[in-house]
């Protein structure tokens, strides 16, 4: 499952089409972040899926936190302080 998640992540990261669209969005003056979630159902071949089928959500193994100035203003309004070292 981990290998499948990594393969999906790499294929999206290496996609020229996705990179082109993201570039156009940035050229338009926008910051962008993309979060995708994949749910994978697993069952033995030949068996009918049941309610107990294993479901795994794949996430990036090294997520990056990006906080914009607008995010900081919002957090400050909630009296939440972000440590710069973190």
Question: Residue 53: pLDDT band by 50, 70, 90 thresholds?
Answer: very low
Number of separate domains in the chain: 1
Q: Give phi and psi for 27, each to the nearest 5.
A: -65, -25
The overall average pLDDT reported for the chain is 77
Report which of residues 84 and 26 the model is more confident about.
Answer: 26
The pLDDT value recorded for residue 75 is: 85
Report which of residues 16 and 66 the model is more confident about.
Answer: 16
What mean pLDDT do residues 38-55 have? 67
Report which of residues 83 and 28 the model is more confident about.
Answer: 28
The whole-model pTM stands at 0.43
The pLDDT value recorded for residue 83 is: 75
- Asked if residue 33 belongs to a domain, the reply is yes
Give the list of residues 6+ apart from residue 8 with CB closer than 8 angstroms, or none.
38, 58
- Asked if residue 36 belongs to a domain, the reply is yes
* Alpha helix positions (H), 1-86: 2-13, 16-27, 69-77
Show the domain range for 9: 2-60
Q: What secondary structure letter does DSSP report for 49?
A: P
């Amino acid at each position: 499952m981990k290998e499948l998640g990594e393969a999906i992540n790499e294929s999206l990261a290496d996609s020229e089409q996705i990179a082109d669209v993201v570039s156009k969005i940035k050229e338009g003056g926008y910051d962008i972040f993309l979060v995708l979630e994949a749910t994978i159902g697993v069952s033995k071949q030949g068996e009918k899926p049941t309610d107990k089928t294993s479901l795994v959500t794949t996430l990036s193994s090294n997520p990056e936190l990006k906080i914009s100035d607008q995010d900081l203003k919002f957090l400050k309004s909630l009296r939440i302080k972000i440590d710069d070292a973190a």
